[in-house]
Amino acid sequence: MLKFDRQGLLPVAIQEDATGEVLMVAFMNQEALRLTRETGYTHFFSRSRNTVWRKGEQSGNVQEVRDIFVNCEENSLLIKVVQHGKAACHMGYHSCYYRRLQPDDTYETVAERLFDPEPVYGSAQEKFPVVDNAFPIATEEQQKLETEMRLLYGVYLYLRDNDMSEESNTSRLLQERSHGYLVARLADELQELFGVQSGEHVHAGREDDTILEASQVGYWLMLLAATINLRYDDFLPHASILSGYYEQYTEGKASRIV
């Protein structure tokens, strides 16, 4: 049986059937997988838009499914497809893997761009982070955020697994594993963050106070995740940050979330 992660998602590698070239990697939830199997064309789940989408729904570059393979741990898929249209990548390249990583960490473009994405996606691409790249900012910046957050979470896991209570209050909290206390502290910080936005909780000003209280919310969330033994890949905090940053919240939508 397939093992979807805690967010209900499964990573999927897409490979061109005729050549074996890897075209892209995306995520599927159960609905996207069902639609893929029923229609014979790939469907994926957009974490930023929180919705299922059909590959090529804007560009016309659809993927016709030939075979679906499951890995040994049943937690990812390899799908072989016939790629219709010029490209699989929303940046206009045949494959999303069109750059080679150099020894100095720079990228070398090694493939030809087959189409200009602007006329294809236009303003829709600016409004919604479509297709393969989940967020409309530079891949390098996404990778930097993810790397730094993985390192940060790694520190919390180290402090959890190695008792450094005499030197670190964070280690003491993680050693105690008091779920109720951590939840209560998270609730306090969320209430203070709400107070900052409503103007009821003021220190140095709204921007500075938002940064302060939001960082505290992130801190207690990380400790909770470490305490209940979540892996970083179980909740991907960097993806949540980027998704929230680019989400278009109206007052009505925000009130429904609250």
How do residues 192-236 score in pLDDT, each as one tens digit? 999 998 888 888 888 899 999 999 999 999 999 999 999 888 888
In the predicted model, is pLDDT for residue 133 greater than 70?
Answer: no
In the predicted model, is pLDDT for residue 14 greater than 70?
Answer: yes
Comparing CA positions, the residue from 88, 45, 57 lying closest to residue 243 is 45
Q: Which of 105-109, 221-225, 232-236, 249-253 has the highest mean pLDDT?
A: 221-225
Is the pTM value of this prediction over 0.75?
no
In the predicted model, is pLDDT for residue 7 greater than 60?
Answer: yes
- Which fold, 10-127? Ubiquitin-like (UB roll) (3.10.20)
User: Considering Cα of 23, then 28, then 34, then 39, what sign does the dihedral take?
Assistant: negative
CATH class, range 139-257: mainly alpha
Residue 239's pLDDT band (boundaries 50, 70, 90)?
confident
Q: CA-CA distance, 232 to 242, in Å (whole number)? A: 16
Report how far apart, in Å, the C-alpha atoms of 49 and of each of 75, 146, 165, 237, 246 are: 23, 19, 41, 16, 9
Mean pLDDT of the chain: 85
Q: CA-CA distance, 57 to 27, in Å (whole number)? A: 16
Please give the DSSP secondary-structure letter assigned to residue 49.
T
Residue 114 tokens, joined: 């087959």
Residue ranges per structural domain of the chain: 10-127, 139-257
- Mean pLDDT confidence for 113-137: 55
Contact 152, 219 (CB under 8 A): no
pLDDT at 233: 82
Q: CA-CA distance, 236 to 36, in Å (whole number)? A: 25
pLDDT at 126: 37
